[in-house]
Amino acid sequence: MKKVSFITVDPGHFHAALVQKSMYPDVDSVVHVYAPEGNDVNAYLGMITQYNSREEAPTTWKEEVYTGSDYLEKMLADKAGNVVVLAGNNGRKTGYISRSVSAGLNVLADKPMAISPEGFTLLKAAFDTAVEKNVLLYDIMTERYEITSMLQRELSQLPGVFGTLQQGSAAEPAVIKESVHHFFKYVSGKPLVRPAWFFDVKQAGEGIVDVTTHLVDLIQWTCFPEVTLDYSKDVNITSARRWPTQLTPAQFSRVTSTEGWPDYLQPYLQDSMLFVYANGEINYTLKNVHARVAVMWNFEAPEGTGDTHYSLMRGTKADLLIRQGAEQQYKPVLYIRPHQQEDAESEVWKNELQDMLKKYPGVTVQKAAEGWEVMIPEEYKTGHEAHFAEVTKKYLQFLKDGGMPAWEVPNMLAKYYTTTEALRKAETVEAR
């Protein structure tokens, strides 16, 4: 493929800037930006300026910006680059994806690529169009590059250590993934200002179709590595629920830097409080394995804490557990919890484990209250922001190779079917 040139469209989420926190040898330094005029594009440009002017490893991006009201039509007419980068208003995103691939443009999109059953139908058609146009449509799954998730996946493939994945039950799923997030946080060292539309679930998507995308993806990627999934046969949503986080006017003003409630948020107001359906839980089976994912949003993390992640995989010989609580100083820690102590003393256990750890020099295991703690050197803990460069490099390699692994597109469809079908089920239950 010829040199890659980014086109950034309507960058309403800070993830659009994080794709450009690093430079890439095969990517043109000129980025063409098409967006409606306003705070969203200004915040994005401010972060790019910050990266360009930092002392250590400054970037050299040159932003060519168009902010006319016809920004999308102008982008499609200009075709100033060949990769559209999308991270922003999720209510518009699926439409942007559809129009971009129809125009023969590659797309690298932040999650979620669809936030409703109707959006899933449009996304499915976009993947078909991408094949016809010979372009690549891919989403940004940063959590695949988090070291404890990577090692949990590796360990689950060791029959002498983990055994095989249990099937579990609705009451006791074989796989559980939960995460807690916060509306107010710091990104690249500065308080994050979120757009007001972020709190409108029609524009941003509910929690059950947003952050759960990462959790569902990790379950597919970890439990069935490189296995092609068929959402029509392999996914069954058994139950789903959603509930709101309440924000005060002062909290909303602090995180958005705006005063008062926009008109589009009026339907979500009760007694001067904003009800945001940011929380959700999905219980489902994937190839008959019982799984549960849950996401919760609070306003702000207590001092010294942050977003948290919990992950459990139940094997026939051991459980693999990631905790990120106070005991772990709010940093993710991976544990191996053998069912029988003699298993952890066997030669098979030791040999398989040591062979796997050779891929990760410096990583060791030591006895702990949870069984065995996986000790991970700091150099592997690159952090969430750095993972955007790793995903982008993977995507650039796909472009160079002229395609993706056969399982990637079917599994993206399975993922978005899971989240959007769960939303439909949760809304249907509430309507009864």
CA dist 120 and 122 (Å) reads 5
H-type helices in 271-379, by residue range?
341-344, 347-357
What integer pLDDT is reported at residue 327 of this predicted model?
Answer: 85
- Summarize pLDDT for 129-151 with one digit per residue, the tens: 999 999 999 999 999 999 999 99
pTM recorded for the entire structure: 0.94
* Backbone φ, ψ for residue 14 (5° rounding): -60, -15
In 123-234, DSSP assigns E strands to: 137-139, 175-184, 186-187, 190-191
Ranges of residues in the chain whose predicted pLDDT is under 50: none
Residue 390's alpha-carbon distances to 140, 317, 385, 387, 394, in angstroms, are 10, 33, 10, 5, 6
Question: Whose structure tokens read 């008109």?
Answer: 263
Query: Two tokens at 65?
Result: 């910006």
> CA-CA distance, 166 to 164, in Å (whole number)?
6
Chain centroid to CA 85 = 15
The pLDDT, as a whole number, for residue 430 is 67
Superfamily of domain 6-139: NAD(P)-binding Rossmann-like Domain (3.40.50.720)
Listed residue (419, 200, 381) closest to 294, CA to CA: 419
Task: For 187-201, write each residue's pLDDT tens digit.
Answer: 777 888 899 999 999
Q: Which fold has domain 144-384?
A: Dihydrodipicolinate Reductase; domain 2 (3.30.360)
- Using CA atoms, how far apart are residues 33 and 248, in angstroms rounded to an integer? 34
- Which residue in 171, 174, 172 sits closest to 162, CA to CA? 174
Listed residue (175, 161, 215) closest to 344, CA to CA: 161
CA distance 62 to 29: 6
- What residue segments make up the domains of the chain, in order of their start? 6-139, 144-384
pLDDT at 432: 56
What phi and psi, each to the nearest 5 degrees, are found at residue 137? Answer: -110, 125
Helix (H/G/I), strand (E/B), else coil: 420: helix
Residue among 120, 121, 80 nearest 100 (CA): 80
Is the bond preceding 173 in cis, omega lying within 30 degrees of 0? no
**C-alpha dihedral, 406 to 410 to 414 to 420, nearest 10°:** 130
Task: Report the C-alpha gap between 366 and 123 in whole angstroms.
Answer: 46
Q: Which pLDDT value is given to residue 302?
A: 76
Please provide the size of the chain in residues. Answer: 432
- Is-contact 20 31, C-beta < 8 A? yes
